[in-house]
Amino acid sequence: MTILDRAHFDHMTGADRALQLEVLGLFRRQVASWRGAFASGEGWRESVHTMKGSARGIGFTQLAAACEAAEQADEAGRAAALAQVEAALSEALVALEQFATDAA
């Protein structure tokens, strides 16, 4: 499975490369905030929810699925669920960098 569904991302952005790079830049800037919430334990569920929406809009389907699973985790399962989100996020960030390189 591809990490970034480029057909979806093209559809959502009208295949406008400048807009895509802007959207990906905004996503990248939000990552630190989301990770901060994960680490502190405060607002982590809201951050996962926000990340899920962003991931779906871009076409990071695996990340969105990991976020959805984390949203449903109880407090005892939080660490494991967030580890899955982190793994999917790391893959998404690699795909994001590859997209930016390809678009250049």
Q: What is the pTM of this model?
A: 0.92
Among 20, 26, 24, 31, which Cα is nearest to 90's?
31
- % of the chain exceeding 90 in pLDDT: 86
Q: Are 24 and 58 in contact (CB under 8 A)?
A: yes
Cβ neighbours for 63, distance < 8 A, ≥ 6 positions apart: 3, 51, 52, 55, 85, 88, 89, 91, 92
1 within domain boundaries: no
Split into its structural domains, the chain has a count of: 1
Q: Look at residue 50 and tell me if it is in a domain.
A: yes
pLDDT in tens, 61-80: 999 999 999 999 998 999 99
User: For residue range 42-62, what is the model confidence (pLDDT) as tens digits?
Assistant: 899 999 999 999 999 999 999
In a domain, 89, yes or no: yes
Residue 35 is part of a domain; what is its CATH number?
Answer: 1.20.120.160
Q: Is residue 35 part of a domain?
A: yes
Give pLDDT, residue 1.
Answer: 65
Residue 43 within a domain: yes
Model confidence pLDDT, tens digit, residues 35-44: 999 988 889 9
57 is a domain residue: yes
